[in-house]
Amino acid sequence: MHRFFIPPEACHNNPLCLSPEESKHARSVLRLRIGDRVVVLNGAGKELLCQAEEVRSDSTTLSIIQENSVRPLPFEITLYQAVAKGKAMDFIIQKAAELGAHRIVPVLSERSVPDWDETKAAAKVEKWRSICVESIKQCGSAWLPGLELPMKPDDALTDARQADLSLIATLQPDAKHPREHIDAYSTEHAQAPGKLAIWIGPEGDYTPAEINTIRTAALPITLGPLVLRSETAAIYCLAVLNYELQARH
């Protein structure tokens, strides 16, 4: 069944109306027809089984047949990702959404994009939100990750203090396997962390000064002896942390 996205504020009526962009895609690409059944995701935990009542290139209406509530993951992972160059950041955003990241916080490190103004940042975030929407449609998630405006490391550190456990991927010699830190937290608090933050550097990694600053609040983890691309490190960490936390919740 084809999946579409309609934001929560537009999901209160029956029938539902797809946006002009979604309508054009439904008719011209997916060849949706009257009577076809589809799934609508609202990004806030609702999954709606619908039937197409009218299909036009500029407007498609869907009647709701069944509404399901989907529980979120029992843990929240926030990715603090230094803005990567080129299309690498788009790829990271896409995979973070597919891997169930709760929030994505782009970090403006010295080795990423230092000269973003507010207009450019807002335009980039809007593009990344569209990528997140396409990702949850692809993987069937009823939850859309929160996507913040890019932050400088100091502001991101303040934001990350809400996490139960913060980790930073690094090649420094004292880095440990992420399981060791999760086990230590679980032993101390008699439960696994519910909110976890993971910091990933840009191409060339964070500067030594940035690493030292982040490490005042984040524990170092190793991803093995190989030097990974930023996008590979992000996917690796989200996959491993999902695996570890799902086993504990």
Q: What is the pLDDT of residues 72-88, one digit of tens each?
A: 999 999 999 999 887 99
Taking each helix axis from N to C end, the angle separating 88-98 and 230-246, rounded to the nearest 10 degrees, works out to 10
Nearest-angstrom CA–CA distance, 164 and 175: 19
| Cα angle: 176, vertex 239, 97; to 5 degrees | 130
The pLDDT, as a whole number, for residue 117 is 74
Nearest-angstrom CA–CA distance, 131 and 59: 22
Residues 89 and 60 occupy one common structural domain: no
**Domain final residue pick, 46, 69, 92:** 69
pLDDT in tens, 12-58: 888 999 999 999 999 989 999 999 999 999 999 999 999 999 999 88
What is the count of structural domains for the chain?
2
- What tokens were used for 226? 């190989």
Residues 101 and 83 occupy one common structural domain: yes
Residues 183 and 154 occupy one common structural domain: yes
Residues 207 and 183 occupy one common structural domain: yes
Residues 21 and 121 occupy one common structural domain: no
- Average pLDDT of every residue of the chain: 93
Residues 88 and 29 occupy one common structural domain: no
Residues 82 and 178 occupy one common structural domain: yes
Residues 91 and 37 occupy one common structural domain: no
Question: What phi-psi label fits residue 235: left (phi over 0), alpha (psi between -120 and 50 degrees) or beta?
Answer: alpha
The pLDDT, as a whole number, for residue 113 is 66
- Residue linked to tokens 């080129």: 86
> Cα 205 from chain centroid?
21
Output the pTM of the full model: 0.93
Give the confidence band of 115 by pLDDT, cuts at 50, 70, 90.
low
pLDDT in tens, 117-131: 778 888 889 999 999
The count of other CB atoms within 10 Å of the CB of residue 182 is 22
Classified as helix, coil or strand, 167 is strand
The pLDDT, as a whole number, for residue 114 is 58
**Domain final residue pick, 25, 47, 69:** 69
Range of the domain at 166: 76-246
Residues 142 and 84 occupy one common structural domain: yes
Here the CATH number for the domain that contains residue 24 is: 2.40.240.20
- What tokens were used for 143? 């939850």
Nearest-angstrom CA–CA distance, 58 and 226: 50
Contacts by 21-26 with C-beta closer than 8 Å and gap 24+?
22/60, 23/55, 23/56, 23/57, 23/58, 23/59, 23/60, 24/57, 24/58, 26/2, 26/52, 26/55, 26/60
The pLDDT, as a whole number, for residue 121 is 83
- What tokens were used for 46? 């609702």
Residues 92 and 190 occupy one common structural domain: yes
Residues 31 and 16 occupy one common structural domain: yes
The count of other CB atoms within 10 Å of the CB of residue 89 is 24
**Domain final residue pick, 69, 99, 119:** 69
Here the CATH number for the domain that contains residue 194 is: 3.40.1280.10
Residues 92 and 63 occupy one common structural domain: no
